[in-house]
Each structure stands twice: as C-alpha cells, then as structure tokens.
Structure 1
Amino acid sequence: MSTPYAFVIHEQPPAVVLDDGQQTREISPLWLRERTQASDQLEAMTRQRLFDSHAIDAALTLESASRVDEQHVALAFSDGHRETYDLRVLADELDDAAAIFPAAEPWDASLDQARVRFDWRRVLKEPAYFRDSLDAYLRYGYLILYGVPTDPERILQVGSHYGYVKETNFGRYFEVYSRPSGNDLAYRSVALGPHTDNPYRNPVPGIQLLHCLVNETSGGLSTLADSLKVLERLRREEPEGYALLKTTPVRFRFVDAGTELVTQRTMIQTDDDGHPTGVHYSPRLDALPLLSDAQTRQFHRARQRLGELLADPTYEARFTLDAGELMLFDNSRVLHGRTSYDPSEGQRHLQGCYLDTDGPRERFASLLKHHESIEEVA
C-alpha cells in the first residue's frame, strides 16, 4: 500500500475519520456500509454483493463505532447491520486499483531496446518471464517477441496468450504484403508515417500485433514512437493548440468497396482525470473540424507539429523486424509506421491482428495473484 492511511475512531458521536497524512475527513456511513466484508453480504469467490447497494437508505447513519484492536473496528448502522471491519481492507479500497500495475513510463529513441525484447519460447514456459514481458508492455506500451514460429496463424496463438483477439472487417487476422488491389495503403510498398490503426472504429482496437513471416528486403524498417513523450513537448510548445486537440472531436472515415466506417473523436485521448493516455492519429483518414478561421489554423498547426514530433528521430525507434519477430503495441499510445521498400528485392510478408485493451492487464493481475498465493503457501 503506497499511501500511509490512518483511521481515527470516534465513539461520540460515532464516526470513522481518515487521515492520509495531508488532511483528515470523515468517511460517510454509506461508503462504509457498501464496503461490507461480512460473509452473508458477499459471495465468497467473486466478492460480489448479495444485496442491492443502490437501495440503501440515503439517510443511513452510523449508530456506534468502537475500536476492537489496532486493525479492527466494530460498526453498527441505522439499517440494523452490525459488523467488525478490517481497517486494512478499507485501506486497500482507498488505494488506487491501478497501483498493482506498473505506471506508464514515457520513452524516446534512447530507450534500451533490451528492456522490451523477450523470447517467445520462454514466455510460453516460464510464468515469471511472461509476467516480466507484461510488465514491460504496461510500462512502455510495446514489446518485441523473438523466436516466434513463422507458420500461418501463429499470431493468433500469441494474441490469445496476451489477451483476446478482436475480429474486424479485416478478419481475425490480416496479411500485410505488397498487393496493388489492397484496400489500405499498408498493402503497398510505400512509406507509412506514424499512425494509429482504425481511429474510425468504435471502439478503436486497443492493441495491435504484427508478426514478420518473411523479410527479404533492405527497406521496410518498422518505426514506433511514444505519444506520451511527444505530447509532453507539444503541450509545452503549443498549449492552446494542444487544448484544441484534446477537446475538439474530428471525423475519421474509412471507405472501401464493401465498408464505410465513420466516427468522431478527439485526436488526444485522455483518462477520466484529463491526463493523456494516447492519440488517435492518421493523416490519411481524418478531417479538420469546423472551427473559426483562427482556431482552424491553430488546430492545424498543433496537429502539424504533433506529426513532426512523432517522426522526429529523437522520439522514433527504427529497426528491422526480422522473420520470427513479433511486435505488440498499444494502438493508441504507441504509433507505428514503416519506411518504403522495393518489392523486387524479395518478399516481405507480415501478419497482423488486434486485441482488446484489457487483456495484458488481466493476465498480469492473474499472474501476480498466483505469485502471491505461492508466497503465502511458502
């Protein structure tokens, strides 16, 4: 537990007061009642409530409070419920649930690539090593697996190991090689600037995998850039334009012979507290929003600068993705691209697929829980 919470118990009038080291505040009886730990109130395995907490009387009061020992307090409520609470459990409730996960660490081109490279064969066999790879993904937004067999559809096995494969109009997985009739520029040999995939879709695919089956070309280098690092600089340089990108929805549109997908969303993606978590960025698919002329120019300058920074060698990791290597990356946080290549040099064939965002976090939490169980037994 990262925050030193302390609980002060008042018997008259009954109250539970929280001291977080900076301020004190009384905890509402409603908050306490909802967080019951009683076995007849919670289902044992799922820890889901056996009662409707929304139906608790809004006028609920605390009728008595007395400390049992340093870690326990006996509470009685006006609805007749009586219980001895473990204060350590309440403290865990107060801690941010995300605290069990590694915090995102913005990076630039100087990042040591050894931190994000993992042997797929060991990932399959060693839970602790698998957990290390998940830790790297959650910190940096991507990882590269090597030693991945190049047989068809192996990407689905890798995807299922890290999360849940998401089917789209491209199928469960898609092929990436030069073909003139392809319905996306990814299926040409031209250079692709940094972008996120499918910003026109709702929801946007959370994670992308690209698995190299064959690479006989000298070009076609893969590129990755961390939007979190780039946005730090954009906010300093263009604060007003940054605010527009964060708050003004733009239209993203995809059209081919059989599909048309359109949605509106802001270019900068944020969490509930307004902190950036990534971007929706694809210059081939977006359209300027209708603003005043002055704001339109400001918006455009900000997105122009965003594109420049994403392609700046200071922020861009550039490397060859060889046969048997697979990169897995957060589709909103880490933008990907590639340099052009000459298909006459030889074959370049990748397969790709998408995962839902929550997969790696679920896998990490499960492995952490399993590790803690083993430690407890030991």
Structure 2
Amino acid sequence: MFRQATLRNIRDALSRMRYPTVNNVSRIAVSKYEQAMRSQKHSSALAAVDVYKDVTRGFGRQERNKAEYPPLEYSLTDRKGFPLPTVEKRMSYEEDAFVIWNITTDTAERSLEVVWKDGHRSKYHFIWLRDHQYSHGTAASVTNQRTVDTAKIPLDITAESIEVADSGRKVRIAWSRHIDGVKDSEFDTKWLRHNCYTQHNQIKRQLRNRPWLWGKDLNKYISNASVPYEDVMRDDKAVLELLRKVKKFGLAIVSGTPTCKETSQRVVERIGPVRQTIYGGFWETRLLPADDKKNIDSAFSTCALPAHTDGNYWQDPPGIQVFHCLEPDLHGGDTLLVDGFKVAEDMREMDSDSFNFLCETPIPFQHTDKENHLVSYHTVFGKDADGNVIRFSLNTLDRDVMRLPPSQVLRFYKAWQQLCKIVADPSNEAWLKLMPGQLIIIDNKRVLHGRSEISPKSRRVLVGCYLSHEDFASKLAVLEKRHSKATTPEARPA
C-alpha cells in the first residue's frame, strides 16, 4: 500500500508550483522522493519536481541512449484530466522533434494541431501564426522586429490551404484573408517546435532552466563553478562556460587571475561594460581607520556583515557583482554566501503565508551620505508569471522606516523574523576563504553575500564592480547562438 501522506506532499508541492497533478505513483517514486527529502539537498517542492522530471526527461534534447532510461513508473495528467505524453513516447532521434508527422485543423478554435514524429502534439492558433510571420531575408528578420500590424489581423482568420514541405520540415499556409498584400506564410519547424505553447512544453522549459540550489554544501561543487583565467581571456567558449555556471549556481569563480585591478577589469569586460554608480566603476574595499573620513560604511570596518544583496536602494539594483581578492585576511574576513532561491523555496514550504506576504509587500531601502539620499521599494521575493522566484532583495542594515497599515504590522515582523531565521540557518550558509587570484562573479538578484569579522590588523583587499543583468543575459544569449550546436536551448524543442 502506498504511503498516502508522501503522495499528498508530492501532489501539494506540484500544485503550488502549477505543475500537473500526479495520479499514480509507484513505490519506487515515493522512495525516491523520501530519499531526496532525507538528503536535505532539496526542498519538498523541488523533490516533487524531480518526480515529474523522471517522466518527462525523455523529451527535448536526447543526451543518452533510450535504453538508459528507466521503465515508466507513474503517469501524469494535465489539469483537465487529459494524459500527458509518457516516457514510452520519448523521441528516438533528436531530429524527430522537428519533423511533422501529421497536421489537422480545428475549425471551432481556428487552429491547427501538429503531431511531431517523436509523438509530441502542438496546437497553434491561426491568428498567432499570422501574427508571428516575419519578413525573412530583410533587416527585420535579423533584428526580430515585427513587420505585422497585429490590430489588422481578423480574429477569425483561417487557412485556405496548408502544405507540409521539405520532408516535414516546413509548413506553408495560404491565408483566407490577405493583409498588406501578404497571401501566404512559411514556417520553419524548428522555430515552431521551440515556440510551442502547450502546457507540457512550458513545464519542460521550467524544468530545463531550473537553477541548481545549494546550501552549506556549496564547497563540494565549487570546483565545478570555476574557470581558469587564461581560458576566459583566450576563448569565448570559456566565457560561455563561465556565464552558464553563473546562471546555474548563481556564482562562478575565475581562478588564477593576476592580482591587480587592471586584470579584474579585463575579465569583467569579457562579459560586459562596468556599471557606473555613486561608487564609481571599480571600487576597492579595505580596512580603514575609525577616524578616516572615507570610513562611512560598514564594509570598511572590522565588523561581520550579515548576508545581503547590494543596491536595494536603487530602483534597478545591480544584477551582477564581482569581487577580486588581491590580498586575504588569513585570520578572518571569510566570505559568506547564501542561495536566495533556496531560502525562498524553504520559506514557501515552511510558512506560505509569510512567503506570500514578502512577495506582495514592498520594503523600503535607503542609502544616505553627504552627497546622496536614495530610497527605493522592493518586495523581498520577485516572481515570474509561473510563480517561480526570479529575484531576491534583502539587506537588514539598509532597510528604511516601515509605514504599513496597522493591520499588517505584526504580520510583517512575523514574516521578517522567519525570513532572517532561514537566511541565517547554518544549513544555508556556505563559507569560503577567498585567496589571491580568485575572482568571484555573483548573481546579485539571487545570491546573498556577507563576511565574518576582520582582524584589526588585517591587510585584506578586495576590488570589485557591478554589471547590468541585461548585459550578462545578452552576452550569454549571443555566445549560446554563436558557439552551441544547432540544438541550443534557444533553438531546440522544449
């Protein structure tokens, strides 16, 4: 007899994250879930997603032989009760994902359904297809700028005829209504498959792009998050590897970096332009005497700094932060790192009411000095349309005066204390001793950083800067297209 409590936990966790419900779960699946929970490497939500991932991992990019996949252990349905494709229907060859097996039309919904050779089904509405017709071979096709006025497309547009060409790799549609003289459109099947908007494909994209969550065990994986300096400076593929690691772990290290400010800047410029702020471009952090006029920030003192993200007092906080160790403190000043996304999942599971409160309630942050007075508001957790946490903002030292309605004051303090408790939980704290030559790149929208107390005679010197998250994402996308195979995450099916 199945362990019903565990099964309910799996279902509840998937439901909270808007994944399909699990109908039939075998003893093997339940055991896997419980083993993941005992290992404490995943929240129950992510362990439940791993249950789902076992079913769906046969789709998309084919990295292993079919024989290596385990037999079907459980089945899934979408929210309407219709069965999703199972492991038994996995593609035999990657190219099958882009080859059309059959096309049918639905007059009532004014759409067409594509059955791909790998067994996947995609639905495309005619108005959506006409709206996404690009002028191939023109400047607009390079920039992806639209050449169609969506307001001119009739809602009831349909196809007069549909032709599958090029051995199932092209679709040509003759339209029932001509707009701006365009009578027909042609679509590449790779583009269609990649942009399939069925629920199953959307779930697959979420699973594929899921970050690797970590806690105090980060040191086990830190070698996997490192790239040699010489490789980064010589080869764009090494830069791509570096950026992929930042996306996966929320951080990466460039090892063997010469210990001078100029080399720091050269590494950063391989990623994107340095962001100018009230601190300038590159800045230097070292211990300053208490009577030094520049000693106006806790970063220049000997005190320990709790885990935090930077720049919450700006409307657009820095996306990427860089630290380069020029000289260490051998008796203190260890670097503290906390995965904000793991904190978010822990809090979602432990106290969903407080989690939702911090997703919805803007918190004021401030910075004040002789030349600047900055105030901005951010929710602690920022979510995307699917409910996934994509941003974390926290700095207990920079939080400004709270002016909440009386009915929300106690709720705020309950949520804030719970949050700080989870952030400071030793199981979530990863400690590193940055040594000369190590340049660490941190996703400031995900990873919190801090430090232990510095010895009074410390000669510890760090230089660093900020980069825009948009520049980081742009560089990653460009290098993916340039150096990846034809089936990159941007081009392959979901």
**TM norm structure 2:** 0.68
CA separation of 1:34 and 1:235: change in aligned 2, threshold 3 A: same
Counterpart selection for 1:54 from 123, 145, 150: 150
- Give the % identical residues: 25
Partner residue, 2:51: none
Whether contact under 8 Å (1:212, 1:323) holds in the other structure is yes
**Alignment check: 8 A CA contact 1:208 1:353 kept:** yes
Larger deviation: 88-97 or 330-339? 88-97
* Stretch moving more, 100-109 or 111-120: 100-109
Q: What secondary structure sits across from 1:358 in the alignment? A: helix
Give the 3-state SS of the residue equivalent to 1:163 in structure 2: coil
Please state if 1:71 is matched with 2:169: yes
How far off its partner does 1:283 sit? 0.7
Kindly tell me: are residues 230 and 39 of structure 1, through their superposed partners in 2, closer, same or farther at Cα, counting changes over 3 Å? closer
Distance 2:426 2:402 in 1: 29
- What does 1:1-378 correspond to in 2, within 5 Å? 2=60, 8-10=103-105, 15-18=111-114, 27-39=124-136, 43-49=140-146, 51-59=147-155, 61-69=157-165, 70-77=168-175, 78-79=177-178, 80-94=182-196, 102-111=209-218, 112=220, 113-179=222-288, 180=290, 181=293, 182-287=295-400, 289-293=402-406, 295-344=408-457, 346-372=458-484
Instruction: Provide the secondary structure at the position in 2 that maps to 1:190.
Output: coil
Distance 1:261 1:58, change over 3 A: farther
Is the contact made by 1:269 and 1:279 (CA closer than 8 Å) also made in structure 2?
yes
Q: How far off its partner does 1:202 sit?
A: 1.4
Shift of 1:358: 2.8
Distance (Å, rounded) in 2 between the aligned partners of 1:57 and 1:366: 32
Deviations 1:162-185 (A, max 9, x none): 233111000011111122332321
* Closer/same/farther in 2, CA of residues 102 and 240 from structure 1, 3 Å limit: closer
User: C-alpha distance in 2, partners of 1:336/1:205?
Assistant: 14
1:60 deviates by 5.7
Contact 1:217 1:341 in 2 (8 A): no
Q: Which amino acid aligns with 2:275?
A: K
With 101-110 and 19-28 compared, the bigger mean Cα shift is at 19-28
TM norm structure 1? 0.87
Q: CA deviation at 1:19?
A: 6.2
Matched position secondary structure for 2:427: coil
CA distance in 1 between partners of 2:115 and 2:365 (Å): 47
Q: How many residues in Structure 1 have an aligned counterpart in Structure 2?
A: 374
Shift in CA distance, 316/100, structure 1 to aligned 2, threshold 3 Å: closer
Q: Which has the higher helix share?
A: 2
Larger RCO (CA under 8 A, 6+ residues apart): 1
Contact conserved, 1:11 with 1:66, CA < 8 A, in 2?
A: no
Alpha-carbon offset, residue 140 of structure 1:
0.6
The gaps in structure 2 that reach 5 residues or longer are 1-58, 61-84, 86-96, 488-494
**How far has the Cα of 1:99 moved from its partner?**
7.6
Which amino acid is the alignment partner of residue 142 of structure 1?
A: L
Structure 1 CA distance, aligned partners of 2:352 and 2:187?
Answer: 48
Q: Give RMSD over aligned pairs.
A: 3.2
Greater Cα shift, 293-302 or 9-18: 9-18
2: CA distance between counterparts of 1:374 and 1:268? 35
Relative to total residues, which structure has the larger strand share, 1 or 2? 1
1-structure distance, mates of 2:447, 2:481:
28
Separation of aligned partners in 2, 1:72 and 1:22: 18
SS of residue paired to 2:195: helix
1:272 partner letter: A
Pick which of 138-147 and 268-277 moved more. Answer: 268-277
Gaps of 5+ in 1: none
